[in-house]
A = this chain, B = another copy of it.
Amino acid sequence: MKSDKISEAVVRRLPVYLRFLNDLNRREIATVSSQELGQRLDLNPAQIRKDLAYFGDFGRKGIGYDVPYLIEKIRHILKLDQPINVALVGAGNLGHALSNYNAYLKDTMKITAVFDSYQPKVGTKINTLTVQPMDELANTVREQGIRIGIITVPDQEAQNVADILIESGIEAILNFAPVILKTPSEVRVHAADFTTDLQSLAYYLHEGKEEEVDGQ
């Protein structure tokens, strides 16, 4: 196959494939089949083959997929084969925690700037980065070619920060604040709010004190 419009579900699985492939690569395993991948990632092998086939013929019949080659291909599809700079807005505890993940992101994606509107925080160090005031955001985004913004500010400030990021020309946002952001459709937004995650988990708890109609 080749292109068509790719669904978000497919795109979200690619980083998961990549992560496991990197793991195989570290262990110097040269080849992997869709069946092995499916087993480890808890996915249907046909789904994995189909996902990959959207982007090209990466496998070899009878053999499977060459690990380093597939890594290269997925990195290219995800645009991780070019430097992607990321700005972090909100230098609180969560922002601080995320800034430590630069090592994890390795590849070419990197948090290169941190901003906060709280005056006393400006100028302090967060790992190797110095917290900048919000009014430097637009300039820094332009200078460093920053393309993705991470929002880790309190919920009341999140929309305002999103507006500023978009105004500065950012292309995508990862939003940790528990609000739905209003954004133009060209700007991709992913919600990363752990409180809704946790609340939806509660649904799956076995029945507690309250009696309920249906078990699971």
Residues of A within 8 A of B (CB): 2-3, 8, 11-12, 14-16, 18-20, 40-42, 76-82, 84, 86, 92-94, 96-98, 100-101, 104-105, 109, 147-148, 150, 171-174, 178-180, 186, 188, 190, 192, 194-206, 208-210, 213-214
Contact = CB atoms under 8 A, between A and B. Distances in A.
Contacts of A19: 178-179, 195-196
B78 A202 contact: yes
Contacts of A214: 3
| Oligomer: number of copies | 2
A203 B11 contact: yes
Nearest to A210: B82
Given A105-B195, A201-B188, A213 B148 contact: no
A101 B201 CA distance: 16
B79 A202 contact: yes
Contacts of A16: 180, 196
Contact of A84 (B11, B180, B205): B205
Given A101-B194, A190-B200, A210-B81, A205 B94 contact: no
A42 to B, nearest CB: 6
Contact of A201 (B20, B174, B186): B174
- Among A12, A100, A190, A194, the most chain B Cβ lie within 10 Å of the Cβ of A194
B14 A203 contact: yes
Given A81-B210, A148-B205, A180-B42, A15 B97 contact: no
Nearest to A23: B179
B180 A41 contact: yes
Contacts of A203: 11, 14, 77-79
Given A3-B213, A174-B194, 8 more contacts: A2-B213, A14-B200, A41-B180, A79-B202, A148-B198, A172-B204, A173-B201, A190-B200
A96 B93 contact: yes
Given A16-B196, A41-B180, A97-B97, A205 B105 contact: no
A114 to B, nearest CB: 14
